Structure 1
């Protein structure tokens, strides 16, 4: 199993379950009813052996006594069954509610974790914790934890009744008790460790599965199916190894505890039988004591079996809560990063506020923003010795278009990530209209920005729903305007369901250019103050690129726009061009100015001109042929 920095050492106790108490605060009444039903159920069960005692000692002396004792036992049994049914129903409802709130809280928190978190934490691991760990937690809270509490109460009650009924027969049980406790504690600790490792291996397996399925075309193209299958089998083998280790501990624990219990019961039966033979006690007293002893033994054995399950429950809880312990993005004056389940539930069910999204008509412009970068430097946490950008200072006027040019890795996308506050600058600061962006509410900042990335993310929904993600309250006219401006209608009108066409997982039914146009339509619909185009036309053919450039020209005319591009032909008309080289700003000016003043930019232009000339010659040769 790969060792990852986010994996925690395994705790050696079950106190981690106490951390679930915030999720019970809104269910105190339900919890109280559950505990009362459990107590009544246990109490009724503990009264039953006394009924057996009265039947054996006095019930066979008269018909009337036998009748009344039988009726009393019937009513007591019905009450016991009713309390057990109520207990189980309340346990299920309570457990499912807690799990639902915890799952929602973890998912919501995962949405607010910073980009640095996902550099080391695999998405497959997050999915594993929200699926397999939540499944363990669901069954644990609705079954294991309740049964453990019930068994514990019954064990204590049975021991008390044994002490009251015939204390001298407790000696064999007291001798066996320390051994039973030692076996159960040792077994629980071992099973907890194996369970945690088992869940980590399962998370590795889930991550490998997700990567393989997502990259299935690459695997097939490189004929890597045998190697991928071999690695999967190895992961399965490692997982089964942990399962087998846990099962061996569980089996030996069950055998040892069962043997000790029956040894104690046999000794109690022998000593009690001698007392009956010597007329010291009646048969009813011995029967009641043995029933209590059997209840205590059954409860203790159940606790021993459940100890391993409790360990798995604690391990799953710890892994889920570990995600909640990860620091969220610094949100400035926005909503607090950590929210209790009640607040979170209210937020999720409340309608979107009107101020969350601009309500302007289609393409009605918000005033453009002024951007300022003051001596900004940044080091990626995974590469702390290599600067991604170094001491960049830049003023962007409202409505100005700044194009960033440079080789791959020069720092263009890093500047955009810092502006979006996916990362914080190592030194320096970025200002929006004179206000440092790290002092602004994160939600407010990002609602003023729109990004068209080089590789847009398309969700498994319809074309219209994908575009409306930018502004869910947009009306039909705004949607149609964005669709037309981004030339989405060029292909959507040819589809049977048009904009309601489902695009499949990650937009698998669309071409790269179609996905790019949907991303551009999102940006148009969002109506941002700052538009970020990160190779926005990279996946388009020449004709579509021309159409999109026209749409983008209209969109960026009165907006502050930042553009990253490799092809200089797409940015020659920018207000200014910033040339980056190994994270440093080495040139700033118009296209014509940089051709004379910046050797690196001039080299880019010459290389691209040669490439274009070569392409033209190739096309001409083919035509002649």
Structure 2
């Protein structure tokens, strides 16, 4: 995996600059908020010089109103900052998650063979979260904090220590508001956890079932499902941000109102001679115009560092080459006949260690080609090459006379079907799983596939029939039931090329009999590649390829190979004795 480091210039160009208008609004709001916050210490000078010295009660009223007005401005700008910038940041996160997921799902199968699903989920769901500190309030608060610190440094040089504060009532009110607000927000966060679990769970399933998705050409469908999920997550976060911004704005207003009250009460008490001017001057330090921005800037600095680290990891994914970018695979095959040809095909997962070596054979349209051999001989690799999950290192695979490596994956895989030994079922209903390759299928088409695969043999016994929920990966079903659903799914897809990888292994006799009949219907008229350890299941194949050490050791029909009394004969008679 290539390393990629995101630069400040790149982030500015791709993330900050496209949102310059909304960030400019945020910067204006933060400047207004900071300037309004300086009304209070500025008013202290007039309080000392005019109100206290001259006993001007009218000036006191004017100052109190001015400070109260500045507090209202701070509360409003604080709410707008969160409402505008934080929501926009979450919207950007949702968009980036969808982009990264779309990028990953179109990467080659080999990438998934070398990656952990959980790590990919983290890349998609967590790594992009740091951008909230770039587009959200973090960046403008960094600028605003710097402005506040500089101005405060000039204005507060001669400030004295704080006086005792009369804040009990507003603090109590704020505490009550906080309890009520967080009581309201808590269910929103709980719902977010549920939504996040659903989205992450579905995403993990998508990545684990990538062969099924690619085999049925369903990438677009999964991209749409994920986009809908992250949109739900975004709307939940948007709702909670509105609530939390109200709490923080209430804190600004009520604690600021307490400070305003101190000004009025303190001024009155100074006039009355109850406290000294030094006691009153200590008030301004309580506001902490110097300390708060400095602490805030240090926190934001660490957050921005975190954001860049996450974007580095995201950029690594976005710079990877997709499975098919349209530049090489540009041959369209609207209707596949089904003639498949391997010409001197070799393949290696690791250099200098070829798994397939100079394999050549013809699989005419509508024929059944069985691949047999010991574990690790290369059978599944040949099937993966036929499914275009892998590309040959040497040699060529042809489909209807066209080089498969140059055929559009979209046009090929929409006519490809796969049924695997442990075929992947998604959490949901039986109906949803069968409809997976063709969501717009009619009820008649669905029921025909159900009947052809003998799915109705067990769904008729279920209270909800096809609408029965099967649990994650079909955990509530037996192996035979899951296999029949997978076959029904392939029948509904109506593929021209079919890959069957150990579709009847590890099944009881009754299940195998049903599945053998279902497979016979499925393979009829389609070019099929069958991998089977049970050699009794492939006796009717048009040709059998015996694979040994990545090469074709023997080739022919069942009767021909038995008559040769070679490697196939040994395998078949050995199994017969068992």
TM-score (norm 2): 0.71
Check conservation: 1:23, 1:101, Cα contact below 8 A.
no
Check conservation: 2:356, 2:550, Cα contact below 8 A.
yes
Find the counterpart in structure 2 of residue 370 from structure 1.
339
Find the counterpart in structure 2 of residue 496 from structure 1.
463
Q: Is structure 2 residue 506 aligned with structure 1 residue 510?
A: no
Q: Write the mapping of 1:280-299 to structure 2, written as runs, cut at 5 A.
A: 294-299=288-293
Please state whether the residue corresponding to 2:290 is helix, strand or coil: helix
Match of 2:500 among 523, 533, 540: 533
Match of 2:353 among 386, 399, 402: 386
Separation in 1 of the partners of 2:358 and 2:75? Answer: 74
Separation in 2 of the partners of 1:510 and 1:26? Answer: 50
Q: Is structure 2 residue 86 aligned with structure 1 residue 92?
A: yes
Q: Write the mapping of 1:253-272 to structure 2, written as runs, cut at 5 A.
A: none
Find the counterpart in structure 1 of residue 141 from structure 2.
150
Separation in 2 of the partners of 1:294 and 1:554? Answer: 79
Separation in 1 of the partners of 2:12 and 2:403? Answer: 38
Distance 1:539 1:610, change over 3 A: closer
Distance 1:522 1:38, change over 3 A: same
Q: Is structure 2 residue 386 aligned with structure 1 residue 419?
A: yes
Check conservation: 2:398, 2:404, Cα contact below 8 A.
yes
Separation in 1 of the partners of 2:472 and 2:434? Answer: 15
Q: Count how many residue pairs are aligned between Structure 1 and Structure 2.
A: 462
Separation in 1 of the partners of 2:7 and 2:403? Answer: 43
Name stretches of at least 5 consecutive residues in structure 1 with no aligned partner.
Answer: 170-205, 215-282, 337-354, 359-365, 612-625
Q: Is structure 2 residue 130 aligned with structure 1 residue 137?
A: yes
Q: Is structure 2 residue 74 aligned with structure 1 residue 80?
A: yes
Separation in 2 of the partners of 1:20 and 1:571? Answer: 61
Moved more, 367-376 or 86-95: 367-376
Check conservation: 2:328, 2:406, Cα contact below 8 A.
no
User: How far off its partner does 1:132 sit?
Assistant: 5.0
Separation in 2 of the partners of 1:41 and 1:519? Answer: 61
Q: Is structure 2 residue 457 aligned with structure 1 residue 466?
A: no
Separation in 2 of the partners of 1:76 and 1:543? Answer: 81
Match of 1:454 among 415, 418, 421: 421
Check conservation: 2:27, 2:140, Cα contact below 8 A.
no
Check conservation: 1:106, 1:320, Cα contact below 8 A.
yes
Find the counterpart in structure 1 of residue 527 from structure 2.
560
User: How far off its partner does 1:324 sit?
Assistant: 3.0
Distance 1:498 1:103, change over 3 A: same
Q: Write the mapping of 1:150-169 to structure 2, written as runs, cut at 5 A.
A: 150-160=141-151, 162-163=153-154
Distance 1:323 1:608, change over 3 A: same
User: How far off its partner does 1:482 sit?
Assistant: 0.6
Separation in 2 of the partners of 1:527 and 1:603? Answer: 36
Distance 1:582 1:367, change over 3 A: same
The one-character-per-residue Cα deviations of 1:580-603 (angstroms, maximum 9, x if unpaired) are 111012222212222244721121
Find the counterpart in structure 2 of residue 55 from structure 1.
47
Separation in 2 of the partners of 1:140 and 1:468? Answer: 42
Q: Is structure 2 residue 10 aligned with structure 1 residue 43?
A: no
Please state whether the residue corresponding to 1:295 is helix, strand or coil: coil
Name stretches of at least 5 consecutive residues in structure 2 with no aligned partner.
Answer: 160-199, 209-276
Check conservation: 1:53, 1:287, Cα contact below 8 A.
no
Check conservation: 1:404, 1:565, Cα contact below 8 A.
yes
Check conservation: 1:535, 1:565, Cα contact below 8 A.
yes
* C-alpha RMSD of matched pairs (Å): 3.7
Separation in 2 of the partners of 1:384 and 1:159? Answer: 61
Find the counterpart in structure 1 of residue 410 from structure 2.
443
The one-character-per-residue Cα deviations of 1:23-72 (angstroms, maximum 9, x if unpaired) are 56775554443333223222322444333333333344334433333322
Distance 1:29 1:487, change over 3 A: farther
Task: Name segments (4+ residues, structure 1) moved above 6 Å.
Answer: 166-169, 286-293
Please state whether the residue corresponding to 2:294 is helix, strand or coil: helix
Distance 1:45 1:429, change over 3 A: farther
Please state whether the residue corresponding to 1:428 is helix, strand or coil: strand
Please state whether the residue corresponding to 1:372 is helix, strand or coil: strand
User: How far off its partner does 1:385 sit?
Assistant: 3.0
Find the counterpart in structure 1 of residue 195 from structure 2.
none
TM-score (norm 1): 0.66
Q: Is structure 2 residue 321 aligned with structure 1 residue 327?
A: yes
Check conservation: 1:495, 1:501, Cα contact below 8 A.
yes
User: How far off its partner does 1:20 sit?
Assistant: 7.9
